[in-house]
Amino acid sequence: MSFPSASAKHAFIIGPTGQDGSYLADMLLGKEYEVWGCVRPRGQGRDLSNLLPETVDGLHWVEADINDSEALTSVLAQCQPDEVYNLAAMSFVPASWPSVLTAMETNAIGAVRVFEACRKACPEARVYQASSSEMFGNTPPPQDEMTPMHPVSPYGVAKLAAHRMAHVYRLSYGQFIACGLLFNHESPRRGN
């Protein structure tokens, strides 16, 4: 792992190999950020095919699982990012039904582990949490931040738990945590 330079902004992306993380990495590198890509340890599934070759070469790669608080806190302490983007999640909604515990562990508890690791290791970092339109459930559109949230899937419940905990961390610890309400979006980099 290389350490941050003093001149550039430093970003830490959890989930840089997915659709959103790969585009974000491209953009931040284009803005001359130093970018760390946090991926699961080897052997837990890693596909770099979404990334441009220059992005693969431009990222500082670190291994940590969002379900391992100690490892996550350690890499954040070493990287000292200005910005942290949590894009890691079980992202296929139907898969949350047969894997309810995994959905909750990754999408809810994993996000809380990110908030807590940032609180301990880099409390001044600005944190982005990827929330989901699935939090609204069957609430009819149009939907915005004030629309009642009534999730109807384990995925939606887990995302809502993370969304609410971001609010708690903002109030309790004064952390900067912004949640983006992401609706379905497509690109050539989105998996099947």
Q: Spot the catalytic one: 69, 134, 153, 169.
A: 134
Q: Spot the catalytic one: 22, 69, 96, 132.
A: 132
Q: Spot the catalytic one: 33, 85, 155, 169.
A: 155
155 is catalytic: yes
132 is catalytic: yes
What is the DSSP code string of the chain?
A: -PPPPSSS-EEEEESTTSHHHHHHHHHHHHTT-EEEEEEPPTTS----TTS-HHHHHHSEEEE--TT-HHHHHHHHHHH--SEEEE--S---GGGGTTTHHHHIIIIIIHHHHHHHHHHHH-TTSEEEEEEEGGGGTTPPSS--TTS-----SHHHHHHHHHHHHHHHHHHHH--EEEEEEEPP---TTS--
Catalytic center residues = 132, 134, 155
